[in-house]
Amino acid sequence: MNAQELSEQEIFRRKSLEDLRNMGIEPYPAEEYPVTAYSTAIREEFRDEEPRKTVFIAGRVMSRRIMGKASFIELQDSEGRIQVYVTRDDICPGEDKDLYNVVFKKALDIGDFIGIKGFVFRTQMGTVSVHAEELTVLAKSLRPLPIVKYKDGVAYDAFEDPELRYRQRYVDLVVNEGIKDIFVKRTQIFNSMRAFFNERGYLEVDTPVLQNIPGGAAARPFITHHNALDIPFYLRIANELYLKRLIVGGFECVYEFSRNFRNEGMDRTHNPEFTVMEIYVSYKDYLWMMCFTEQMLEKICLDVLGTTEVKIGDRTIDFKAPYRRVTMIDAIKENTGIDITGMNEEQLREVCRKLGVEQNSTMGKGKLIDEIFGEKCEANYIQPTFITDYPKEMSPLCKRHRNNPELTERFELMVNGKELANAYSELNDPIDQRERFEEQLRLSEKGDDEAMFIDRDFLRALEYGMPPTSGMGIGMDRLVMLLTGQTSIQEVLFFPQMRPEKTYRKEDIAQND
């Protein structure tokens, strides 16, 4: 960046940087700073009657009020904000007052990182604060932060443009209240789920992100190229087939928090890169998995929120078990008045025409039923509801229903009008699985670019024998959205996928590629 591209503020800050160095103060010191206390704990633990307590704190300067020889600054650390009282004679006890008059009053800017050694006290206004005895510059900020000011609950000059917030999440986290809390809760949700599994002795594993065949789901993959092998590879769309290979190998239960990639659209509930948890438990079926899933979600809510009720907009969603169970056929009948039991492909197309559901020639029975449910039913299930017993054409990796060979033992958990979890009694008949894959191949030949590939190594693994197993996948980003009351997936991802900024040059992007 040349000087002509700098704003007046940026030029001023670079001048302050030079001034610090000219005074012999390194604005980016290498030494450790011995932080001993944080804002929240300082306020919670302070007692007026106790002896004076010395603390070392560090953070960003978020505001300051200079009043001659004494000033107040607001310091923001990883837990929150705390007031610091600074006097000239305390931080400059000798004759040289430059640290206060030049550094503090002139060279220090909002956004700079500083360290403070001092003691905790309560001001005459009753505010627990830190009285500074030493001040150390830790990092100079060369760009001005947007200053969000609040009055009567209203934010002024707010940094709230979604595109700016997502591109510059580092600024969003600094200036917007509550944003960090979303991501703290995200980690707590993962930790609670992980603890739920680990307490039962289940094993966390890792499976490949780069795959020869993109299997385990019906989705369009991202394709890359392996230079050394000179062959295409796919970023995984799901980790299901690898986890089931481990069940074949003798592990009784495995799970993985998996980063998956699907080369599809982006909207408020979809990001091309997302996180899924998948778990597979031997000797169980989908009925057991329904009970397991609702118990898990209830516990996560209690661990993270202290309640099973979550507020999303004007809706209150209750994750307390048990959840309602509705078959897919009954769900379509319940919402459209049409019973699709036993219908063939042409009859389903007629239903789509009657209901105004879009269709095309590439769609088979399963895709048509999926479109009907997605368009006319899904949004109506607000409270947690298990939609069960899907037609076999929709579920090529799922075991046939024990009472109806036209259906499969599958459920999807719908919450707030969207799918949250998907589970099967896993198909472990290798002959049946081969036939299902071949049907997917026929759909692909008709033009369905989401049809599954035939994974011959997975078929070979099944031929060695896989015990009865139930598997479940849950969209972690959507779960975080629900439990933090967010309506956009971009709000729960640190760095959601964005178009390149217009200021990027084509040659810059090419070099990064």
Q: What is the pLDDT of residues 302-314, one digit of tens each?
A: 999 999 999 998 9
DSSP alpha helices (H): ranges in 320-418? Answer: 328-336, 345-355, 365-376
Q: What is the pLDDT of residues 495-504, one digit of tens each?
A: 999 988 875 4
Confidence of residue 440 (pLDDT cuts 50, 70, 90): confident
For 261, phi then psi, to 5°, come to: -140, 125
Mean pLDDT for the stretch of residues 369-393: 94
Say whether pLDDT at 510 is over 60: no
Say whether pLDDT at 511 is over 60: no
Residue 129: its H or E element:
strand 128-139
Between 167 and 394, where is the model more confident? 167
Distance CA 448, CA 115 (A): 60
Mean pLDDT for the stretch of residues 367-372: 92
Q: What is the pLDDT of residues 273-301, one digit of tens each?
A: 999 999 999 999 999 999 999 999 999 99
Between 12 and 214, where is the model more confident? 12
Query: Residue 470: is it exposed, middle or buried by C-beta count within 10 angstroms (0-12/13-18/19+)?
Result: buried
* Per-residue model confidence (pLDDT) at position 256: 98
* Per-residue model confidence (pLDDT) at position 447: 65
Least confident of 30-34, 208-212, 358-362: 358-362
Rg (CA), the chain: 29
Say whether pLDDT at 359 is over 80: yes
Nearest CA among 290, 274, 280, 292 for reference residue 255: 280
Mean pLDDT for the stretch of residues 468-491: 96
Confidence of residue 158 (pLDDT cuts 50, 70, 90): confident
- Direct distance between the N- and C-terminal alpha carbons of the chain, in angstroms, rounded to an integer: 22
Does domain 179-323+383-492 bear CATH number 3.40.50.11690? no
Confidence of residue 395 (pLDDT cuts 50, 70, 90): confident
Can you say how many angstroms the Cα of residue 445 is from the centroid of all Cα atoms in its chain? 36
Domain boundaries, the chain: 6-145, 179-323+383-492
Only one residue has tokens 């000087």, namely: 3
Distance CA 260, CA 61 (A): 39
Distance CA 186, CA 489 (A): 12
For 2, phi then psi, to 5°, come to: -90, 170
* Per-residue model confidence (pLDDT) at position 508: 44
Confidence of residue 367 (pLDDT cuts 50, 70, 90): confident
In this structure, are strands 418-425 and 154-156 parallel, antiparallel, or unpaired? unpaired
Mean pLDDT for the stretch of residues 75-96: 94
Nearest CA among 111, 114, 116, 118 for reference residue 138: 114
Say whether pLDDT at 350 is over 70: yes
Mean pLDDT for the stretch of residues 386-410: 90
Between 427 and 152, where is the model more confident? 427
Within 10 angstroms of residue 239's Cβ, the number of other Cβ atoms is: 28
Mean pLDDT for the stretch of residues 328-343: 95
Between 77 and 103, where is the model more confident? 77
Q: Does this chain's domain 6-145 share its CATH topology with 179-323+383-492?
A: no
Confidence of residue 513 (pLDDT cuts 50, 70, 90): very low
Q: What is the pLDDT of residues 221-260, one digit of tens each?
A: 999 999 999 999 999 999 999 999 999 999 999 999 999 9
Sign of CA dihedral 183, 168, 502, 147: positive
Say whether pLDDT at 411 is over 50: yes
Length of the chain: 513
Say whether pLDDT at 507 is over 50: no
Between 148 and 436, where is the model more confident? 436
Nearest CA among 387, 424, 431 for reference residue 408: 424
Half-sphere exposure of 372 toward its Cβ, with a 13 Å CA cutoff?
33
- 6-145 CATH, one of 1.10.287.3240, 2.40.50.140, 1.20.120.80, 3.40.50.920: 2.40.50.140
Share of the chain above pLDDT 70, in %: 93
* Per-residue model confidence (pLDDT) at position 509: 41
Say what the pTM is.
0.89
Distance CA 510, CA 513 (A): 5
Mean pLDDT for the stretch of residues 79-87: 96
**DSSP assignment of 428-464, as one string?**
--HHHHHHHHHHHHHHHHTT-TTSPPP-HHHHHHHHT
Q: What is the pLDDT of residues 450-459, one digit of tens each?
A: 566 788 999 9
Q: What is the pLDDT of residues 27-66, one digit of tens each?
A: 999 999 999 999 999 999 999 999 999 999 999 999 999 9
DSSP alpha helices (H): ranges in 178-239? Answer: 179-198
For 215, phi then psi, to 5°, come to: -115, 175
